A and B are shown apart, each in its own frame.
Chain A
Amino acid sequence: MEKEIICTVCPRGCHIKVVGDDKNVQSLEGYGCKRGVDYATAEFISPVRILTTTVKIDGNDADLLPVRSNKPLPKDKLFECMEIIRKTSVKLPIKQYDVVISNICDSGADIVASKSVL
């Protein structure tokens, strides 16, 4: 399998050509630094992203609580996570970094409040 990955570590944005299979990288071309090698390897084998969205607040239709995953999630689980978050609502007061959903989709990451709403 071959994939072209645009490195997002710095603004240089190297286009890195990665060849490998599901578990291993065989070769990398076009990187500019060591950080690019690490990024492209991780991005090739298991791309992850921070998920940010909002959840409803009980008894308040006009306001939302911004939330985030406390660590990056597998990219292919983002929509599955969104399904769960969509059905979630919170009670106030809530403090920044309070856990809203723990271990979402068995990813090991928690969905936490991005801010306090008192």
Chain B
Amino acid sequence: MYNINCDVAVIGGGPAGLAAAIAAKKEGAEKVLIIERDESLGGILQQCIHPGFGLTRFNEELTGPEYYSRFTEEVSSLGVEVLLNSMVLEVNDSEKTVICVNKEYGMTKVVAKSIVLAMGCRERTRANIVTPGTRPAGIYTAGSAQRLINRQNIMVGKKIVILGSGDIGMIMARRMTLEGANVVMVVELMDYLAGLTRNKVQCLDDFNIPLKTSHTITKIVGDKRVEGVYVAPVDENKKPILEKEEFVACDTVLFSVGLIPENELSKNAEVEICPVTNGPVVNQYMQTSKEAIFACGNVVHVNDLVDNVSAESEQAGKYAARLAMGSFPEKEKEIAVKTGRNVRYTCPHKLIKSNENEKVNLYFRVLAPEKSVKLIARCGEEIISSKKEYRVNPGEMNNLCIETAKISGNEIVIEALKEE
């Protein structure tokens, strides 16, 4: 088997992997290798031709290709090595190896001092949400339609219904309208928007595309090609009210119903997985339950902004490099991060109190939308970080900055309290 030795091996060449590799190299790791299954770097951003990236990081509104090319340029100028067209089959923690398959080298064994998981996520499909009906042509996930239209020059349909008001769904509504399709409606099960408000304004409202919240598709109809869908309102338990079902004619249905972190490799490596995010449990160094395995980006938790992915991936890369070089912070104590009132999950899931005083950016999502909220991090009754928010929404990530020196006891609770 062909052998490659490196200090830090990064699995995945999307925004997470690129930022991690760059940070690892800058931190001083000598040989950093990105392993990517696609024929080029950039990951999903290659098909995200719309603007809206980089507002936080670069203070500019960039398209996906502009955003990732800033990183790929740095990857090549810093001398990060890249193995394209290479599918990783196995990550082995005890041997610190990554086995991949590549057309040129065949089976390849990468031996690393530390490994960064940056495989991203994949879309939930019709099968995941079990939509009844026939199985004609014309049913796509929003992301695969996006790839076909934006990268492969294949238009997916003319008259379209989209299920799910996630960002990809709304962005595809605009994209297909601009390409001459008629987007009949966007159907959303919840009583609130799943994606960002600015996407509703610029992708739906701009083109008078109706958004039907508290509705769902009850059945897909059609023999060879989709002929239409039945759409019904749902009750408070999200059960369709079938008496109010209506037929909507269309030739294409797009599913934009959420993303699942892609963790087959992590699970095989016996990395501990968080049941809420479906991604690895990590500390502030983005280190998993296995010492030499780090993880970052959508493989850990599904982000709404790539800017956040880049920031947390830099942490992963930096500390993966420090582990490889033998200069990792000395652990004094492990602190559990617990979710309190109206908090669904946090990332990182635990904090390490080390010999260094660190400022940690702790990301989290709320369970339900709410107005006039105070976000707090507390140890017992003592509040160690807080911030007021006019409004919180499950679709928009929140964060608190925590100084590890201020932590007392063995746990921190993160809460979104209602302000009077």
Contacts and interface: CB of A to CB of B under 8 A. Distances in A.
Interface of A: 6, 8, 11-13, 32, 49-54, 56, 61-64, 66-68, 75, 78-79, 82, 96, 114-116
B26 interface: no
B202 A8 contact: yes
A115 to B, nearest CB: 4
A11 B51 contact: no
B66 A96 contact: yes
A63 B40 CA distance: 13
B76 to A, nearest CB: 12
Interface residues of B, number: 28
A52 B153 contact: no
A56 B153 contact: yes
A49 B202 contact: yes
Contacts of A82: 178-179
Contacts of B151: 63-64
B197 A11 contact: yes
Interface stretch (B103-111, B136-144, B323-331, B388-396): B388-396
B195 to A, nearest CB: 12
Interface string B117-152: 000000000000000000000000000000001111
B197 A53 contact: no
A44 B152 CA distance: 37
B192 to A, nearest CB: 12
B61 A50 contact: yes
Contact of B65 (A11, A12, A61, A114): A114
B153 A62 contact: yes
Contacts of B50: 52
A52 B197 contact: no
Contact of B69 (A12, A51, A67, A96): A96
A8 B197 contact: yes
A72 to B, nearest CB: 9
Contacts of B206: 49, 75
A52 B69 contact: no
A64 B197 contact: no
A78 B49 contact: no
A11 B391 CA distance: 8
Nearest to B67: A114
A102 B50 CA distance: 20
Nearest to B72: A115
A109 to B, nearest CB: 13
A64 B153 contact: yes
Contacts of A75: 206
B63 interface: yes
Nearest to A6: B201
Nearest to A116: B69
A8 B419 CA distance: 24
B196 interface: yes
A114 B153 contact: no
A50 B178 CA distance: 13
29 contacts: A6-B197, A6-B205, A8-B197, A11-B196, A12-B390, A13-B197, A13-B198, A49-B202, A50-B61, A51-B178, A52-B50, A52-B63, A56-B153, A61-B153, A62-B153, A63-B151, A63-B153, A64-B151, A64-B152, A64-B153, A66-B65, A66-B150, A67-B49, A68-B63, A68-B66, A75-B206, A78-B178, A82-B179, A115-B65
